[in-house]
Amino acid sequence: MEQQNKRAKITLSGIRRALRLYQYAKPYRWQFALGLIMLLLSSSASLAFPKLLGDLIDAGHKGLLLQQLDRIGLLLAVVLILQSLFSYFRIRIFVSVTEKTLASLRQATYSHLIRLPMKFFSERRVGELNSRISSDISQLQDMFTTTLAEFLRQLIVISGGIALLAITSPKLTLFMLAIVPLICVAAVFFGKFIRRFSKQVQAQVADSNTIVEETLQGIFNVKAFANEYFEIGRYKKKTNEAAQTGIKAGLYQGAFVSFLILGLFGAMVAVIWKGAMLMAEGQLEVGQLFSFILYSGFIGGSISGLAEIYTRIQRAMGASEHLLEILNEPVEAIQPLSTAQRRTGISGEIRFENVSFQYPSRKDIAVLRNVSFQVQPGWQVALVGPSGAGKSTIVSLLLRFYDPEQGRITFDGREARDYDLSELRSQMAVVPQDVFLFGGTIRENIAYGNPEAGEDAIIHAAKQANAWEFIRDFPEGLDTIVGERGIQLSGGQRQRIAIARAVLRDPRILILDEATSALDSESERLVQDALDKLMQGRTSIVIAHRLSTVRRADLILVLDKGTIVEKGTHEELMENEEGLYRGLSELQFTA
């Protein structure tokens, strides 16, 4: 969160990088140009308003004809109407352009993000990436909709206002410029100093709220360890810190308000005093002084507003840099597949030849070392070994989440890198131990294996996975909402839906991460039966945690510290009295 709140320095190179994002606004550039014209016209109309008010006062003061007063009053009404119309169309145009542009930017960012390789996601937090698409783009939304328009409007008001003041009274303009801008700038810096305390209070309150959230979520542990008073003390300390910071901020805030009253109103009194002196000398009219005061207020307010706009531009620049970091990352070479391409299969023959691998984030640690093995089509292959042996890494390499540092992997004798990535992965399906279900319906989760499948195919897949019976018992059937991550379903039900998804995909290579280890006996029986049916006629790679489930495997690969230390069938490996597999098997049996 701290990184997100940092502001980028506004530099020419930063502006050039940020302008890359304006390519998404290019299709709407003429509409945007029209909005800028509306902005110029509305700002010009606002500058005419004080001048006409001054003329109206002068006309009344000099006792001019009622007809002339009516004419000035009518002009004021016309200016007000025009300003309101120009402002309406400006906002409407800018909002329209912004929403279309940000929709394109969101789509491009998500499309790019989801095509990035696994190594990118292994080094990033999900919350951080989600922030890029939500809050960072929202910062740009503020930039497109209001910040840019406000920045241009303030510049027009300041430059136009000073020009009109100089025409009205050069002497009084110089006097005003020597006082008002300095007071406004001082007020801005003083205000930023006070806001720092306000942010500190917010951070400390957030910390105290975190304590409340954690203790209420973990109330079982709090009470089990009798730590109620420990948590009360922690919360008391944080809230007292927030109170002390708030009190300190209040002292400075009081000083700030006093400064504003003294500085801004004092500056205004000084300008009026000087104007009255010029009136006494016959160099200024009453209406001109009135217009002058209004213009001074406009200019002072605009100068103060520029500091806030500058801060918002900094935030938008920081957001654009965060987005460009993602958009600059190289994506995987994937493409949409037709039905015919999905059906173009491989036989399922796999070969690892002297494969070595280190994860990009841990280059100094070899996860696999010279791993070699061959899998025939239709074989069931089990990967066993202690945690950290490299079992999951072999699966990641099969799916080409990563490519090996050394050696090569082939499918049907053809190197993995020579296959189209989308086509290769379309021939595989994964049933993990910790099943992830999307928050929609059972139908949507099963159909994820093949989005083009019809109702009959989905039902057939559910039956094959021993899932149709419990699905049918739900009042909504396939349209039952599973909840976030499938929370509405039991572990066994989630596993069977994951198997149905794999059945619907009809893969040539099936990857299983021991899917029954955390289930009760009845659920385990149903899931194992579904898995047995699913593995028939397919090459299956099984990460085995319980060795009792892989005794029928055609090949068992025993890994330890990134190397294959044993391989063979269950019977062959059990004959080796000193072997790791036999030791693990006897340890589990004894347990």
How many C-beta neighbours within 10 Å does residue 476 have?
11
More confident residue, 452 or 515: 452
Which H or E element spans position 580?
A: helix 580-590
Assess whether pLDDT exceeds 50 at residue 569: yes
What is the residue-wise DSSP string for 537-552? TSEEEEE-SSGGGGTT
How many C-beta neighbours within 10 Å does residue 274 have?
20
How many C-beta neighbours within 10 Å does residue 119 have?
15
d(CA 281, CA 274): 11
Q: Cα-flanking dihedrals φ and ψ of residue 304, to 5°?
A: -65, -40
Q: Cα-flanking dihedrals φ and ψ of residue 377, to 5°?
A: -55, 135
| CB-CB contact of 102 with 144 (8 Å) | yes
Assess whether pLDDT exceeds 80 at residue 69: no
- Long-range (24+ apart) CB contacts under 8 A made by 481-489 are 481/439, 481/440, 481/441, 482/437, 482/438, 482/439, 482/440, 482/441, 482/442, 482/445, 483/439, 484/439, 485/436, 485/437, 485/439, 486/435, 486/436, 486/437, 486/445, 489/437
Q: 232-253 pLDDT, tens per residue?
A: 888 888 888 877 877 777 777 7
This prediction's pTM: 0.66
**Which residue type sits at 28?**
Y
Tell the burial category of 226 from Cβ atoms under 10 Å away from its Cβ (0-12, 13-18, 19+): exposed
3-class DSSP string for 396-441: HHHCCCCCCCEEEEEECCEEHHHCCHHHHHCCEEEECCCCCCCCCE
d(CA 49, CA 183): 25
Give how far the C-alpha of residue 541 lies from the chain's centroid of Cα atoms, to the nearest Å: 35
Of 62-76, 140-154, 480-494, which gets the smallest average pLDDT?
62-76
d(CA 109, CA 132): 9
- Provide the 8-state DSSP code for 554: S
Q: 171-200 pLDDT, tens per residue?
A: 777 777 777 667 767 766 776 676 676 667
Q: What is the pLDDT of residue 3?
A: 41
- Which single residue is written with the structure tokens 């009845």? 522
Residues above pLDDT 70, as percent of the chain:
72
